[in-house]
Structure 1
Amino acid sequence: MNEELYANLAIFVLSLLVGFEVMSKIPATLQTPMMSGANAIHGVVVVGAFVIAAEADNMYFYILAFLAAFFAAVNVAGGYTVTDRMLGMFDRPTGGSKKDDKSGGEK
């Protein structure tokens, strides 16, 4: 193992610890909007998967690039889906209220 690998591993572990601390401090009411935004930012991972695919020279790298692109695309789509559902909670209902219903409440 070389020195660059140790440095990259240290950065990865530190980013995990910092991410855990930041996430644990966020109130539960803000988790959904923050995570949906973070998932949308994962579009960068799709670009990284394309870079891996461009540099691939054997089957293992092609499989890795496919898995990275697939999981990143699922993550991005999930982020937009969560955001859409969350924003849908703030829409007004399209149906009429029971007060305005002249049919006596039966349908």
Structure 2
Amino acid sequence: MVNILQLFVENREFIFLIIVSIFLGIEVISNVPAVLHTPLMSGANAIHGVVIIGSIIIMLEAHPTNYLALILGFFAVVLGTLNVVGGFVVTNRMLEMFKKKEK
């Protein structure tokens, strides 16, 4: 069984890159004006569709005893799916605001 410390030491560059990406993403998203929200959500939906397919491929290629890859792949599928569905719901609600109301 591989211990957590050994995994951290072997992958410290990737872990550092993920942490920097998280902070960069938070900074970029927090400075987006409301007018650009809908186009960015549409782009994010497309990106997360690719993430979902990629994580499914990773899970299919992972060895059955590689629980870390399977668990991370499962979480990537779940979170990517939630983001895609949530993005479409938000986009649909924003587009509903521009439709003419029937009397």
TM-score (norm 1): 0.66
| Pairwise CA distance, 1:59 | 7.4
Aligned to 1:37: 42
The answer as to 2:17 corresponding to 1:8 is no
Q: Pick the aligned partner of 2:88 from 68, 80, 84.
A: 80
List alignment gaps of at least 5 residues for structure 2. Answer: 1-8
List alignment gaps of at least 5 residues for structure 1. Answer: 96-107
Aligned to 1:23: 29
More helix by share: 2
Output the amino acid matched with 2:95. Answer: L
Worse overlay, 79-88 or 57-66: 57-66
RMSD: 2.4
How many equivalent pairs are there?
92
How many percent of aligned residue pairs carry the same amino acid?
Answer: 34
**C-alpha distance in structure 1 between counterparts of 2:30 and 2:73, whole Å:** 32
User: Measured at CA, do residues 9 and 64 of structure 1 come closer, stay the same or move farther in structure 2, by a change above 3 Å?
Assistant: closer
Higher gyration radius (CA) = 1
TM-score (norm 2): 0.68
Name the SS of the counterpart of 1:42 in structure 2: helix
